[in-house]
Amino acid sequence: MLKTVKKLTLCGVALSSMFVATSCDTTPQPNTLTEAEIADGWQLLFDGKTLDGWKDFNGDSLTQPWRVVDGCIQANGDGSDLSGYIVTEKQYENFIVDWDWKLSYGGNSGMIYHVVEDPYFKVPYVTGPEYQLIDVEGWEKTNEPTKLEEWQKLGVDYAMYLPNPDSMFVNPQGEWNNSRIVFDNGHVTHYLNGHQILEFDAWTDDWFKRKDSGKWEMAPEYGLARRGVLCLQDHGYPASFRNIKVKELPKKVSGEEIILFNGKDLTGWQAYGTELWYVDQQGNLVCESGKDKQYGYLATRDYYNDFDLTLQFKQLANGNSGVFFRSFVEPKDAKVHGWQCEVAPKNHDTAGIYESYGRGWLVQIPDEKENILKVGDWNTLRIRVEGDHVQTWLNGEPMVDFNDEKIGEAQGRIALQIHDGGGIKVQWRDIKVTRL
């Protein structure tokens, strides 16, 4: 249950080691940082006077009805499910974000992170996890007889993980509370008023089971992004925020090679479309045109942003296929968007790079390199993407090497493709990737 306290005094209380120790005499004014915090890498996301550094979700400027009132960012309460979101101009990957909040009676809001901005995503929460902020008692009294589900209540990782009820200490409605999210290379912790309330690891088997069986079942990109903007939500109730600050944490890369295909089944992959994906008796992954003769995709369940990928393929019929990278699945049509390393019949630019967004071919291979493709035999394809730098090799020979700003800004899955038109059959094996 929630424990309501008249006042939570931070002075002299031993909080988590993640918090900066202060005394009553040195407590900073709202929306300022202490010298120790500055030295420790903290940055303010709100200066107490302006909304500099914030903008509309999927926008270039700030037009949503948020304002600065008495040193607080304040949501007017005019928002809805489809509007009222403001986001940071900067993206964050691994971080600690800390903020004070105060809700109106029955108020409902939230802090969403790793939000991906793209016209295909109409609202932030279909990509970004949310620390739920809500006046539970007031909301339920206002909306009687409707009761909130446990996964909708204060402090939850929305529709995913629940807090420990014994750790929930909330100040009376109308008073300030403090919350914190720590996202450290997939390890996530929520705090409320100095108390750790929940902890989990993203992108584990348990995490994917929850994602694929509940509210996010029809949101294929929910929670997969490894970086994104921070978002405040106006969910139709006035809400105030202050002392919003963030500390970025270092990225950890193991360099371990990951086997993406186990030679037995499609564990770790998700199919989109109606074309056929299966494992044959020899332990090869096969893509084959189905009755609809449409595009089909088999995508990793994880994102791989900077990576070095190697795989082998054999074109059994036609062979018009490809390997997408930094790609995402469109929520409605199960269509993959991103960049494709071409796999195609001879004289059709295998190992060249094609963009599905509209620019078409970015780099085609030289005509003299078309003979590197071995027809009817196994070929080895290597793709390396780091930042905006893209390189490919076919059977050990370098094919393309270029930089692209748009690719550098993107993130997403690796996906195998089967082209439309029918009559296609390709085998794949030895699919391995190393995160960079």
SS (H, E, C) 56-99: ECCCCCCCCCEEEECCEEEECCCCECCECEEEEEEEECCEEEEE
Query: Do 236 and 296 have their domain in common?
Result: no
The reported pTM is 0.89
**pLDDT given for residue 3 in this prediction:** 60
Query: Do 228 and 321 have their domain in common?
Result: no
**pLDDT given for residue 2 in this prediction:** 57
Query: Do 224 and 318 have their domain in common?
Result: no
Distance, CA of 300 to CA of 65 (rounded, Å) = 39
Count the helix, strand and coil residues of the chain and give each as a percent rounded to the nearest 5.
Answer: 10, 40, 45
Query: Do 15 and 114 have their domain in common?
Result: yes
**pLDDT given for residue 4 in this prediction:** 55
Burial (CB < 10 A; 0-12, 13-18, 19+), residue 376, is exposed
Query: Do 211 and 160 have their domain in common?
Result: yes
Query: Do 100 and 200 have their domain in common?
Result: yes
Picking from 232, 233, 228, the residue whose alpha carbon sits closest to that of residue 127 is: 228
Final residue belonging to a domain, choices 248, 269, 301 = 248
8 A C-beta contact, residue 272 and residue 299: yes
8 A C-beta contact, residue 436 and residue 307: yes
**Structural domain boundaries enclosing 272:** 257-435
CATH number at residue 359: 2.60.120.560
Question: pLDDT in tens for each of the 436 residues of the chain?
Answer: 556 554 433 333 333 334 433 333 456 789 999 999 999 999 999 999 999 999 999 999 998 889 999 999 998 877 777 788 999 999 999 999 999 999 999 999 999 999 999 999 999 999 999 999 999 999 999 999 999 999 999 999 999 999 999 999 999 999 999 999 999 999 999 999 999 999 999 999 999 999 999 899 999 999 999 999 999 998 878 899 999 999 999 999 888 899 999 999 999 999 999 899 999 999 999 999 988 888 899 999 999 999 999 999 999 988 889 999 999 998 777 789 999 999 999 999 999 999 987 899 999 999 999 999 999 999 999 999 999 999 999 999 999 999 999 999 999 999 999 998 888 999 999 999 999 9
Query: Do 268 and 300 have their domain in common?
Result: yes
Q: Is 63 left (phi over 0), alpha (psi -120 to 50) or beta?
A: alpha
Final residue belonging to a domain, choices 248, 269, 286 = 248
8-state DSSP, 3 = E
Number of domains in the chain: 2
Final residue belonging to a domain, choices 199, 217, 248 = 248
Is the link from the previous residue into 145 a cis peptide, with omega within 30 of 0?
Answer: yes
**pLDDT given for residue 13 in this prediction:** 35
Query: Do 292 and 234 have their domain in common?
Result: no
8 A C-beta contact, residue 158 and residue 151: yes
Query: Do 117 and 177 have their domain in common?
Result: yes
Query: Do 284 and 411 have their domain in common?
Result: yes
Backbone φ, ψ for residue 239 (5° rounding): -150, 145
Query: Do 203 and 119 have their domain in common?
Result: yes
Question: Who's near 163: CB < 8 A, 6+ residues apart?
Answer: 154, 155, 156, 190, 192, 197, 198
Question: What's the token pair of residue 402?
Answer: 């270029």
Query: Do 240 and 319 have their domain in common?
Result: no
Distance, CA of 399 to CA of 5 (rounded, Å) = 65
**pLDDT given for residue 145 in this prediction:** 94
